């Protein structure tokens, strides 16, 4: 689940700007397209700018954002008629139609966020290392260690551990984890998450399996303190 900031002068919910957003489980914060927003912007993974009705104003605002050194990807939401006015001068990472379906919107968001992470890693290799308690995750080499011991993880197990470790203490439902790790268009059930959590705990070993805690009837969370009791999965 990505943290999104939707900048729009349209009143109403995010679904009014892009209906597909209302069908996805991303955390969407809505603010007006005003320079004051950039003074203390919220921490987000991606910016979406509503350019459906006022292309010149939207272009000016994207240039203002890039001049402030904001280091999150920028996506512009527009109509099919507005596509011809958007070019490289906007300084954005992607453009998407307001009528795009949820699968396309979700994929584009994941891609721009991933590309941004890769670019940051290339400019600062140490930024690809996630440390949380005894866990060290190296995104560049796809390796994870706990107390110096290398974990033999599959790709999905690695992605699951990495995602949880990036959000310590935060509780995720099985559906949220399924969407983030397996993708919006995955047709398997949420029990897939339970199976991978069980395998991941097994590889963490008895001493550290409790860092992935179960919140009964809700989902899972990562605890760097390793002091939680793992509940049974219902």
| pLDDT, tens only, 114-134 | 888 777 666 555 556 788 778
Strand partners, 4: 28, 46
Task: Give percent of the chain with pLDDT exceeding 90.
Answer: 43
CA distance 143 to 132: 14
Q: Give the mean pLDDT of 71-76.
A: 90
Q: Could you tell me what percent of the chain has a pLDDT over 70?
A: 89
Parent domain of 154: 126-222
Same domain, 7 and 54: yes
Residue 68, Cβ density class (10 Å: 0-12 exposed, 13-18 middle, ≥19 buried): exposed
Q: Express each pLDDT in 155-185 by its tens digit.
A: 999 999 998 988 888 888 888 888 888 876 6
Same domain, 7 and 111: yes
What is d(CA 11, CA 193) in angstroms, rounded to the nearest whole number? 37
Query: Which is nearest to 107 in space by CA: 14, 22, 183?
Result: 183
CATH assignment of the domain containing 190: 1.10.10.10
Q: Model-level pTM greater than 0.75?
A: no
Domain limit, last residue, from 98, 122, 146: 122
């Amino acid at each position: 689940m990505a943290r999104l900031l939707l900048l729009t002068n349209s009143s109403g919910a995010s679904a009014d700007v892009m209906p597909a957003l209302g069908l996805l489980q991303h955390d969407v914060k809505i603010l007006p397209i005003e320079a004051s927003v950039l003074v203390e912007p919220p921490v987000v993974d991606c910016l979406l700018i509503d350019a459906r009705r006022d292309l010149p104003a939207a272009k000016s605002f994207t240039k203002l954002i890039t001049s402030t050194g904001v280091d999150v990807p920028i996506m512009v939401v527009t109509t099919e008629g507005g596509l011809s006015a958007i070019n490289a001068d906007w300084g954005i990472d992607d453009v998407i139609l307001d009528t795009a379906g949820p699968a396309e919107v979700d994929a584009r968001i994941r891609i721009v966020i991933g590309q941004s992470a890769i670019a940051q890693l290339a400019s600062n290799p140490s930024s690809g290392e996630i440390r949380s308690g005894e866990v060290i995750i190296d995104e560049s080499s796809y390796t994870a260690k706990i107390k110096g011991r290398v974990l033999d993880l599959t790709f999905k197990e690695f992605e699951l551990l990495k995602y949880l470790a990036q959000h310590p203490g935060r509780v995720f439902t099985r559906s949220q984890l399924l969407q983030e790790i397996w993708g919006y268009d995955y047709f398997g059930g949420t029990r897939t998450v339970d199976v991978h959590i069980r395998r991941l705990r097994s590889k963490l070993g008895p001493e550290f399996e409790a860092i992935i805690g179960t919140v009964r009837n809700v989902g899972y969370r990562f605890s760097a303190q390793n002091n939680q009791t793992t509940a049974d999965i219902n």
